[in-house]
Structure 1
């Protein structure tokens, strides 16, 4: 399973993206704990800076990796949920 809407400077990431992710998360059962987290700074091909946050979350039925990117103004650059 993987839901992936993830490109830097992605106008397609909106509330429906997160809503779809919630439906997937429910299939993993009860949240147990957060795992490792990492942060990476980068630039888009046209030079716009953003930060990427990669967070592991442990659930009753497995682990999920959340990857979210944000531009300096706080807008969402990308989002990915993967097992």
Structure 2
């Protein structure tokens, strides 16, 4: 087998533009497939950051006498997203 270049799926490609390009594409795909609007009507829905996105969200609910918090953060959140 040749040790040269091999084709790889887009999500595995690293290029001169850096990983931020790929991170943005993954975020867009997540929010397109799991839009905020699909969750905002749930009784447990607490909110998202930033508005209109769903990749940083939280839900609160009670079950079995215990109050629960579900916190979902995207991979490698920015300082603004966690402060």
The structure with more strand, counted as a fraction of residues: 1
TM-score (norm 2): 0.29
Structure ID, larger Rg: 2
Q: Which has the higher contact order (CA 8 A, sep 6+)?
A: 1
